[in-house]
Amino acid sequence: MRKGLCRGILLGMLVTFLLPIPLYAIGNPENGVSIGDIYVFRDVFKTGDQLYFVRYDVSYDPVPEESAEDTWQMALYDSSGLLVKSRPLSYYQHNVTSVYLEPDEALGWEGAQVVRIMGAPPLFNLVEGVNMRTRILGPELYHEGTDLGPIMVAQAEILDADWEVALLTLRKRLTATGGLIFEKAVPGLSIAVPEIFEQVEVQPTVDYKEYGGTYAETLRGNAGQKLTNAIVDIGSAIGLSKDWVIFWGAMIFYLMVGGLVFAGRGNPSWAFIAAFPVVVGGAYLLGGSLFILATVITATAAIIFGLYFILGRFA
């Protein structure tokens, strides 16, 4: 038992040592790290929530091959210095990010919270101003959620001027590029303040199809090959042509509809009114030949006679 346990422990340690460990050769940013603006908003998505927004600059030249998400982060501490939440940076250089707190995570409003843009501790020997920048928040940085939209537009203007990339339209709305950047920085921003995103109106194109020939022929052609084959197969089984199958099918359907209406209303007039368009329309759509159409109308007249004079007297 002991030998097996020891072997298991040794095997686990061996596997752990053999697993590939990512190597990072990233150094300190040549031009340092800085924090441009910080804003704290409340009641953004829910009553009592908080959003800590930061515009930062982690300036490398050239940009490292390592991902910023693996090497740098934004960290939020409470006024006592206790880490509350951190989030990896999405990009190097001049950019924006945020940390979101649910209502049950929210810190004291207008408190002296601490925000840091910093290298990941395992990779850096952290030194303020070299690979870490710290800001203590003051009451003037706290805003209601209603201020979020205008402040985001103002931050986009700053980035737009620095990047020389169109992040805003002439109407001061986020372009497609600007929308991607700020939605990445503040997930759900388009839900919180949809009015700062450019809305694109697209007129749908309609492909109008031109149909030639008579209406009946067009409908028969559009009825579908499966329906046509089914009618032909039924006719072959009982020795009738396609037109006569349609005719008798229309008659049966007519009687079904007329009988149901008559049973419910007790009035042959209502039965006629409800059933007549069914049988004529069915023959016209499925058959379409003038001979069958005329036959249906004639037979319908006979059925009308039966409804009025037979059902009306003996029902």
More confident residue, 230 or 132: 132
Largest CA-CA distance found in the chain, in angstroms, rounded: 106
CA 57 to centroid of chain Cα atoms = 32
Does 83 fall in a domain?
A: yes
271 pLDDT higher than 80: no
Q: Which residue, 163, 196, 229, sits at the end of a domain?
A: 196
Same domain, 253 and 110: no
- For residue 260, the model assigns a pLDDT of 72
Indicate the pairing of strand 33-42 with strand 142-144. parallel
Residue percentage of the chain with pLDDT more than 90? 50
Least confident of 46-55, 164-173, 181-190, 241-250: 241-250
Nearest-CA neighbor of 61 among 31, 91, 90? 31
Nearest-CA neighbor of 86 among 112, 52, 42, 57? 52
Domain count, the chain: 2
Same domain, 73 and 168: yes
Same domain, 94 and 221: no
The predicted model gives 263-269 an average pLDDT of: 64
- For residue 140, the model assigns a pLDDT of 97
Does 66 fall in a domain?
A: yes
Cα(143)–Cα(122) distance, integer angstroms:
34
Does 7 fall in a domain?
A: no
Does 43 fall in a domain?
A: yes
- Residue 229: pLDDT band (50, 70, 90) is low
Q: Which residue, 165, 196, 227, sits at the end of a domain?
A: 196
More confident residue, 196 or 288: 196
Average model confidence (pLDDT) for the chain? Answer: 79
- For residue 164, the model assigns a pLDDT of 86
Q: 5 is written with which tokens? A: 């346990």
- For residue 182, the model assigns a pLDDT of 97
More confident residue, 279 or 137: 137
Phi, psi of 212 (to 5 degrees): -100, 170
Same domain, 187 and 223: no
Same domain, 140 and 288: no
- For residue 30, the model assigns a pLDDT of 87
Q: What is the pLDDT of residues 194-216, one digit of tens each?
A: 999 986 444 555 565 555 555 55
Does 224 fall in a domain?
A: yes
* Count of CA atoms in the C-beta half-sphere (13 A) of 58: 29
Same domain, 187 and 111: yes
pTM of the model: 0.58
Q: What is the pLDDT of residues 101-157, one digit of tens each?
A: 999 999 999 999 999 999 998 899 999 999 999 999 999 999 999 999 999 999 999
Same domain, 178 and 233: no
Helix axes 148-163, 176-185, angle to 10 degrees: 120
Phi, psi of 98 (to 5 degrees): -160, 165
17 pLDDT higher than 50: no
Helix axes 242-265, 268-286, angle to 10 degrees: 160
The CATH number of whichever domain residue 81 belongs to comes to 2.60.40.3580
Nearest-CA neighbor of 74 among 64, 87, 83, 62? 87
Does 212 fall in a domain?
A: no
Same domain, 167 and 303: no
292 pLDDT higher than 90: no
Same domain, 158 and 77: yes
Same domain, 49 and 190: yes
Nearest-CA neighbor of 109 among 40, 47, 181? 40
- Residue 188: pLDDT band (50, 70, 90) is very high
- Residue 236: pLDDT band (50, 70, 90) is confident
Does 261 fall in a domain?
A: yes
The predicted model gives 289-297 an average pLDDT of: 56
More confident residue, 308 or 186: 186
Does 25 fall in a domain?
A: no
Q: Residue 157 sits in which domain range? A: 33-196
Q: Which residue, 196, 231, 248, sits at the end of a domain?
A: 196
Same domain, 184 and 298: no
Cβ-in-10-Å burial (0-12, 13-18, 19+) of 308 comes to middle
DSSP secondary structure of 196-245: GBPP---PPP--PPP--S-HHHHHHHHS-HHHHHHHHHHHHHHT--HHHH
- For residue 12, the model assigns a pLDDT of 47
The predicted model gives 252-270 an average pLDDT of: 67
Same domain, 174 and 40: yes
Instruction: Report CA Rg, the chain.
Output: 39
